[in-house]
Amino acid sequence: MIIDRSALDATAAFKLLIGSILPRPIAWVSTLSAEGVANLAPVSFFTGAGRKPPMVSLALQPCSDGELMDTFVNIRDTGEFVVNVATLPQAHQMHQSAAEFPPGVDEFEAVGLEKAACEVVRAPRIAGAPISLECRLERVVPISDLDDHIVFGVVERFHIRDDLYMERGRIDTAALAPIGRLAAEYTLVENVFVTPLDDDVLAGRAGRRMQRLDGLPTEYSPMTSTAYVPSRPVAG
Highest mean pLDDT: which range of 30-34, 102-106, 205-209: 30-34
Average pLDDT estimate for 40-47 = 97
Integer Cα distance of 155 and 136 in angstroms: 7
- What is the spatial distance between Cα 7 and Cα 96, in angstroms, rounded to a whole number? 34
- Write phi, then psi, for 32 (nearest 5 degrees): -120, 140
- One-letter amino acid identity for 37? V
Reduced to 3 states, what is the DSSP secondary structure of residue 71? Answer: helix
pLDDT of residue 223: 78
Q: How far apart are CA 114 and CA 129, in angstroms?
A: 10
Q: Put the strands of the sheet holding 179-181 in their side by side order.
A: 24-25, 179-181, 186-188
| pLDDT tens digits for range 176-219 | 989 999 988 999 999 999 999 999 999 999 999 999 999 999 98
* 185-202 CB burial, b ≥16 within 10 A, e <16: bbbebeeeeeeeeeeeee
Amino acid at site 178? P
> From CA 153, how far away is CA 233, in angstroms rounded?
27
Could you give all domains of the chain from N- to C-terminal order, each with its CATH number? 21-205 (2.30.110.10)
| pLDDT, averaged across the chain | 93
pLDDT at position 233 is: 45
> Rounded CA gap, 59 and 57, in Å?
7
Per this entry, what is the length of the chain?
236
